[in-house]
Amino acid sequence: MACLKTARLPTNLNSVTASDQLRLLTVHAHPDDESSKGAPSIAKYRSEGILATLVCCTGGEAGDILNPAMDRPEVRDNLAKVRVAELNTAAEIIGYETVEMLGYHDSGMADSETNTRPDNFWNAPLDEAVERLVRIIRRDRPQVIVTYGDDQQHYAHPDHLKVHEITLPAFARAGDAEWYTDAGEPWQPLKLYYTEWSKERIQALHGKYLELGLESPFGGEWIERIEAMESADRITTRVEISEFYEVREQGLLAHATQVDPNEKFWFGLPTEVARSVHPFDDYVLAQSLVESELPESDLFAGIPGRQ
C-alpha cells in the first residue's frame, strides 16, 4: 500500500521495551468524533490494561444542536461548556484515561463565517499546532497513534483535514530532539493508523437493514458513496470488537446535543443485531517502525511487550 512506510526503529531514538506501559493516543477533531470512530477498540484495549489518551483539537463550538430535546436556550447559550462536559462523560464510558483539549476553536465548514476566525483550528499555524500535539505525545509516550486518513473526500470538514495535517509531522517530530527542544523528552511512537469506515462495513449494515425489512439510512446517496470508496485492500487492520460494540452507542448517547437517540443512522438496528453485522473497527496502517504481518488484528502487533 502506497502510504505504508515500514522500517526498523532507528538506533539513535528511544526504543520501547517490554517493561514500558502500552498506550495508544487518538487525535480527533470535535467532541463526539471519539465515540463514532473506534470507541469499541479503546474499550477493548482498556480491558487488557492498555491505556489511552484522547486529544480533541476543538471544543465543537460551531456544531449544530442535532437532538431536538436539547435545543433549549440554556444549552444554546452554553454550547461550548455543554459539549466539553459531554466529551468527558463519553471518554469515561469508553475508557480513556486522559482527555486533552488542544485548545482551538471549532473551524466550522469551509464557507462559514466561523471558518474565518483567527483562533480556529483550521487557521492555526501548523508548527504551533504540531508542537502542542508533540508535547502530549512526549508526556504520555504512546506506542500507537490513531488519526484521520488521507482520503476525506466524503466529508472534507476543515478540522478533520487539519487533524491529518498535524498528526503526520507530530508522529515524526516527537522522537526528534531537534524539534521543540522545550516540549519534553523525545519519544518516538512506533505505529500510525488511520481510522476508517470501510466499504465492507457500510455494505454490511445496508444489507442487514434490507434483510430485516427496514428502511436503510445507507441508501440513496450512500450507495453512490459506497461505489466510489476504495477497495478493501486499503484496510490493513481489523480489530474484533463485538463484545464492546455497545460502548459506541453509549458514548454517542452521552453527546446529547449532537446525537438524537431516535436517529436510525446510529440506532436503527438492535444492539444485539448490530454488534454482529461487521464486528470490527477498521484501520489503515500508515506508518510503522516495527515489523508486523499484514493483515493485522491488533494495533499493537509487533510492538515490544505485546503478548
Cell numbers of 30, please? 470535535
How large a percentage of the chain has pLDDT more than 90? 82
Q: What angle do CA 251, 157, 1 make, to 5 degrees?
A: 85
Which residues neighbour 152 within 8 Å (Cβ) at sequence distance 6 or greater?
A: 160, 161, 164
Cis geometry, peptide bond prior to residue 125 (ω within 30 degrees of 0) = no
The per-residue pLDDT for range 18-30, each reduced to its tens digit, is: 558 999 999 999 9
Q: Which domains does the chain have, with CATH numbers?
A: 5-10+20-198+234-288 (3.40.50.10320)
The torsion angles phi and psi of 47, rounded to 5 degrees, stand at -65, -20
DSSP string, 187-224: ----EEEEEE--HHHHHHHHHHHHHTT---TTSTHHHH
* Radius of gyration of the chain measured on its C-alpha atoms: 19
pLDDT at 232 over 70: no
What pLDDT is attached to residue 303? 96
Identify the band that residue 1 occupies on the pLDDT scale cut at 50, 70 and 90: very low
Minimal CA–CA distance to 63: which of 82, 48, 46?
82
Q: Tell me what the pLDDT averaged over the chain comes to.
A: 91
Per the CB < 8 A criterion, the answer to whether 40 and 244 are in contact is: yes
Identify the band that residue 13 occupies on the pLDDT scale cut at 50, 70 and 90: very low
pLDDT at 16 over 70: no
